[in-house]
Amino acid sequence: MESPVSEVLIIVGDAVETMDTLYPIFRLQEDGFKPVVAAPDCRRYQMVLHEVPDGWDITEETKGYSIEAEIAFRDVKPEKYAGIFFSGGRAPEYIRDDPDLIRITKYFFEQEKPIASVCHGVEIPARADVVRGRRMATVPKCKFDLEVCGGTFVDEACVIDGNLVSGRTWHDHGFYLKHWINLLIAERDRMQSGAWPI
């Protein structure tokens, strides 16, 4: 049985980006964490692949793998989890108004637990009104979403703002994710030592 201190939420919905989702899942597993896929409901979700082909001004979307959600947002008790990851793709636009997802998101920001976001993932914390005064990387097309909600857009592969780590797209995974993993390891150690109540 997995210890609650090793569980980390991965936020998904239909049309979540495949690389944005699977890479952090595998990285968590490598360091002894249990990724817990959370979505609007417990069911299988269709992932997509996003790329901007040469000569295109917009993103091309193709079908990716599918993924099973283990827990619905309404059933998430955020205090059980060491951290949270906001994946990209089109899903954030459609799930960001979910009141339970907003509740979950606010908890992690208020408690200053390890948070990572990539690409369109920024749309969820922006909607939850927790990005004011925070520096974040995101895909440039989401710069407006971040800034209109009070955040600061930084066009870099890795942006660290306290407990918040972010990248622009899946191309940045190798630059920013290791910093989030390090925060999670420190959080797990604190939780196991009893410094953070479970």
With cut-offs at 50, 70 and 90, classify the pLDDT of residue 4.
Answer: low
143: domain CATH number is 3.40.50.880
- When divided into structural domains, the chain yields a total of 1
Does residue 149 contact residue 132 with C-beta atoms inside 8 Å? yes
Distance from CA of residue 136 to its chain's centroid? 12
In a domain? residue 147 = yes
In a domain? residue 198 = no
- What are the pLDDT digits (tens) for 113-166? 999 999 999 999 999 999 999 999 999 999 999 999 999 999 999 999 999 999
**Mean pLDDT (whole number) for 9-27:** 97
Does residue 112 contact residue 129 with C-beta atoms inside 8 Å? no
Q: Which residues pair with 10 in a beta bridge?
A: 37, 85
Total residue count of the chain as it appears in this document: 198
- Strands 44-51 and 60-68, by their bridges, are antiparallel
* Cα–Cα distance, 136 to 161 (Å, whole number): 7
Nearest to 59 by CA among 176, 173, 170: 170
pLDDT value at residue 1: 46
Domain that holds residue 133: 4-193
This prediction has a pTM of: 0.93
